[in-house]
Structure 1
Amino acid sequence: MVWQGASYLFGKLAVLVTTLVLARLLVPEDFGLVALAMVFITYADSIADLGVAQALVYLPRTAANTRAAMLSALGFAAVLGAGALLGAPVVAALFGEPDVAPLIQLLSISLVAGAVASVPESLMRRDLQFRRLSSAAVLRSVAVGIVSVVLAATGLGAAALVWGTIAGALVYVVATWALVPARPDVRVWRTQRAALGSVLGYGLPAAGGLLLSKLIFDIDYLIIGHQLGAEALGFYTMAFRIPELLILNVFFVVSSVTFPVYSQARSEPERLQRGYLNSVRIQAAYGVSAGLGTAAVAPVLIPVLLGENWVPVVAALVPLAVYAALRSLGAGANDIYKAIGRPGLSVQISLLRLVVLVPTLVLATRWGFAGVAWAQAGAAAVFVVLMQGVALRVLGLRASQLLRAAGPGLTAGAATGGAALLVVLLLPGADVVVLAVAVVAGLAAGGGTLHLLAPTLAREVLRMFRRRTPSRPPAA
């Protein structure tokens, strides 16, 4: 987690700086067009390797499994890439945005690149080689930022963001294959039917769950793009990006670590229970505080960061920050389902969520993109309860244990948001001054509350970081 956290901070700082620069080089419609194209590619990318990346984390590391995973990933990614090339005009016509088609076709390159990188990436993740993975991720972020900004400055428009994404994907392929400690066996012509069945038997449900998660995560983009247009989507995308960078991506980082760790502990139920409750405590403390704090400072944050042209973003940022706080309370449940060998649970819950979410968000478009944001927050509140209820059942935990784990974080989050909001409402002066004072007040209130309610939390986190299990990764 230290290495993944460092990678996240560096990579997302690069993304934030890039976004701030691009906000002044591009117009909201450019961001909206790329968001539409990325929605389609994100769906395809989530299943491009047929779930073999997750299967390699869960299954024993053998040459037979590695070969089967590589064959599956390459074959299906090639099919998806061809589908993106041929189907791009159809997707563009669906949204009434013909300029989206060439962007989707270009991004098909990233599908194949992601599949090529999936095997070395998953093997390093399985063996907890996060220092190497972090190095590759940092290189990717730098490549995306440099290429996007340089091309945007030349007037390339939305295509600048796409070429930046492609450059990052290609750099990541080279980096993962160069950094993997034991070179995987990729002689796919020697793939055995039994190994292929084992990999796909776990990978297909895992891929299905990931696809549904991506669809749920991006369905608001689809609906806003179709119902409200590219400009509204540009505002919404920018609003979503702030809590995504500050909160949601942090838990994606945590998930990349907890899944392989939970998988290693699946034969020790008590250890798995303790680990899950610890993760809930940490994630609630950070996620709720960051979410409610961001919602409180939104009216002064947007003018300072993005300028007056982006003030409409505030209406969506407040509910989306609350949404991110709620999602943090459910983070980790899917990792438990996969770690105990039941990825199908994620599929079932995601299907239910999608059935509820789509009509809710479509109805919410009556109130513009801000209405969609509030609908997202409401749905997140309902499904936090459902996901944690299932996790408690499969782990054999009581609801009172979960509430005790999350309680300090919930209280600290309320203190953070309340203190920051008072400063924003009562302190006169320039936005930048109000923002600085609000952030300090929120951190002081939240940190003080957390220290009173969970004084040993920081020491427990440091103790977990010091626990290391040296191991030499086996040959693939």
Structure 2
Amino acid sequence: MDSVRTPDSDPSEKSGAPAPPEPPPPSPPPSLGGKVRSAARWSLINTVVMRLGNFATGILLARFALGPAEWGVYGIAQTVLLVLLSANELGVGLAIVRWDGDPRRFAPTVLTLGAASSALLYAAIFVSAPAVAGLLDSPEATGVLRVMCLCLVIDGVAQVPANFLTREFAQGKRMVIDALNFVLSTAVTLVLAFAGWGAMSFACGAVAGNVAALIGCALAAPGTLRFGWDPQQARALLGFGLPLAGASLLALAVVNVDTMIVGSSLGQVSLGFYVLAFNMSGWPVRIISEAARRVSFAGFSRLAGSPQALAEGFGRALGVLVTGTVPLCVLLGGLAAPVVHLVYGSTWVPAAAALPWLMALGLVRIGCELAYDCLVAAGQRRSLILVQALWLVALVPVLVAGAHLNGMVGVSQGHVLVAAGLVVPAFLYALGRAGIGFGTIARACAWPLLGGAVMALMLLAARRILGDSAPALVLVGTGALACYVVCVLPSRRFLLGSRAVETV
């Protein structure tokens, strides 16, 4: 007689056969904190490697191929490109990172909007390039502008797959893409520079590298380069993106208006020195802040629903950034002249006069850029636009006066005056409205700023005693860093403390 199988019976028990092994439980999905830390590691490695490569390339070009005048022309073209890039896709690309749901539903409309707006912008700059170059007292920049700004069109297409990678914290793939970009752009730039192409070598290299990045992003995020159009989505995207594009345009105008003022007031040679100094001041910003910003906006966007979690995440991110950046800024600012002479040669030593002030500006920029991402994620777009507009309106007359009173050093001093005296308080007020109090920010910055002050005093005293020889600089720098580490040790629990973000 057949046995009756009940819900609780097991046929293996009847036959005496061993029971099949239980399937392993499904592994839990990675937490947000784990994703952010992994992406941040990859992003930091990527940024450090790429910046070291750019640093080495800049040394080769400055020492053996290009002079201050060529760097001035390149600075003008780069400034115009960066300002236009801030608005070339109307800010709608960030919806792929920020909006909930499946971004593939609205990505075709994003791509159409971005490609169309960037193409129109390029047509406008192609026609107006002679007038722009003449206004900046650099008529030979016309051709360089027309070639370099081809990157607008490429970026308008590439921003869709690139933002998919950002949304998924896929910074390992971004590292491979950026490496392809760097290798190709550097190879083209070096070959053309040593062949006598001058500033045009930068433009051709930038276009070649951006083409490689577009192809890499398309392969890493397959299926995202599909054009489409939905009028309802387009209206919603423009309502979301245009304020962000306006804020981004203002932010880049703040960073780049000094180049236009120096070029039109002081000439190409002074502009070349200033561009070199500004690029050096950006080393810490690019290495540390750029790595963080590739994950910060996506991370803050996931925390925006919880004001407490957002405040904790911002405080810890700011603490890590400031702790890592302060010693670099103090070392480069305190050892400006010997570092410029050692790295770029005696021709470029005049650039060192502006460097200490620009390093202070770089430190302020790191905090402001992180605050920018946090305010965007928190939906404080109006506050952000007001802060950026205030910054730009106050900056222009101060920089013009600084250029006439004290040349490029006066421009650098004007930058610091406006940023520290006006913009930082404005950002503190805006962050407070988003639920991030002054206490959180003070806790994140107090120990690093104290350590930076101790470092600066030690550098000044030790240089007077030991001089500026290479062994003395190594000894002084090592001692100053050791003092800094001792000063910031009390903050280690704050920086490595609670991981409550992972549970959000």
Q: TM-score range by the shorter chain?
A: over 0.9
Counterpart of 1:33 (choices 73, 91, 97) is 73
AA paired with 1:456? Answer: R
> What is aligned with 2:96?
56
- Contact 1:56/1:123 (CA < 8 Å) preserved in 2? yes
Contact 2:244 2:381 in 1 (8 A): yes
CA distance in 2, matches of 1:229, 1:311: 17
2:139 to 87, 91, 98: 98
1:136 aligned to which of 160, 177, 190:
177
CA contact (8 A) 1:224 1:233 kept: yes
> Letter of the aligned partner of 1:13 in structure 2?
L
Q: For residues 287 and 389 of structure 1, do their structure 2 counterparts lie closer, same or farther at Cα, with a shift above 3 Å needed?
A: farther
1:408 corresponding residue in structure 2: 447
- Compared with structure 1, are the counterparts of its residues 331 and 105 closer, same or farther at alpha carbon in structure 2 (3 Å cutoff)? closer
Question: Aligned partners of 1:410, 1:243: CA distance in 2, in Å?
Answer: 18
Structure 1 gaps, min length 5:
470-476
Match of 1:379 in 2: 418
CA distance in 2, matches of 1:164, 1:187: 28
**Identity over the aligned pairs, expressed in percent?**
24
Conserved 8 A contact 2:380-2:434? no
- Asked if structure 2 preserves the Cα contact closer than 8 Å seen for 1:290 and 1:325, the reply is no
Aligned residue among 147, 153, 156 for 2:188: 147
Q: Which amino acid aligns with 1:92?
A: A
Instruction: Tell me the alpha carbon deviations over residues 280-326 of structure 1, each in whole angstroms, 9 at most, x when there is no partner.
Output: 21122122332222211112111111111111111101110111122
For 2:103 and 2:492, locate their aligned partners in 1 and report how far apart those are by CA, in whole Å.
44
1:256 shift after superposition: 2.2
Q: Secondary structure at the match of 2:88?
A: coil
Tell me which stretches of 4 or more aligned residues in structure 1 moved more than 4 Å. none
SS of residue in 2 equivalent to 1:48: coil
Question: What corresponds to 1:76 in structure 2?
Answer: 117
1:253 aligns with 2:291: yes
Partner of 2:331: 293
Contact kept, 8 Å, 2:111 with 2:160, in 1: the verdict is: yes
For the residues of structure 2 that align with 1:401 and 1:460, how far apart are their CA atoms? 14
User: Deviation at 1:270?
Assistant: 1.4
Distance in 1 separating the partners of 2:468 and 2:254? 40
Whether the aligned pair in 2 keeps the contact of 1:421 and 1:438 (CA below 8 Å) is no
1:225 alignment counterpart: 263
**AA partner of residue 493 (structure 2):** T
CA deviation after TM superposition for structure 1 residue 99, in Å: 0.6
Counterpart contact for 1:296–1:424, Cα < 8 Å: no
Q: Give secondary structure in 1 for the equivalent of 2:355.
A: helix
What is the deviation of 1:356?
Answer: 0.2
Alignment partner of 1:215 out of 253, 263, 267: 253
1:198 CA drift (Å): 1.6
**CA distance in structure 1 between the partners assigned to 2:477 and 2:151 by the alignment:** 38
Query: Kindly tell me: are residues 254 and 389 of structure 1, through their superposed partners in 2, closer, same or farther at Cα, counting changes over 3 Å?
Result: same
Q: Distance in 1 between matches of 2:274 and 2:293?
A: 26
Q: Which deviates further from its counterpart, 285-294 or 147-156?
A: 285-294
Shift of 1:460: 4.1
Q: Residues of 2 paired with 1:107 and 1:299: CA distance?
A: 32
Separation in 2 of the partners of 1:252 and 1:464? 25
Answer with 1 or 2: which has the greater Rg: 2
In the alignment, residue 202 of structure 1 is paired with which amino acid? Answer: F
Relative distance call for 1:92 and 1:398 in structure 2 (3 A) is closer
Partners of 1:292 and 1:325 within 8 A in 2: no
CA distance in 2, matches of 1:458, 1:402: 13
* Aligned position for 1:369: 408
Superposition pairs of residues 155-166 of structure 1, within 5 angstroms: 155-166=196-207
Worse-superposed segment, 127-136 or 233-242: 127-136
Alpha-carbon distance between aligned partners in 1 of 2:503 and 2:49, rounded to the nearest angstrom: 24
Deviation string, structure 1 residues 30-79 (Cα, Å, up to 9, x no partner): 00001111211211111111112212111133333101100100100110
* SS, match of residue 47 in structure 1: coil
Q: In structure 2, what residue type is equivalent to 1:58?
A: R
Gaps of 5+ in 2: 1-39
Tell me, in whole angstroms, the C-alpha distance in 2 between the residues paired with 1:405 and 1:266.
20
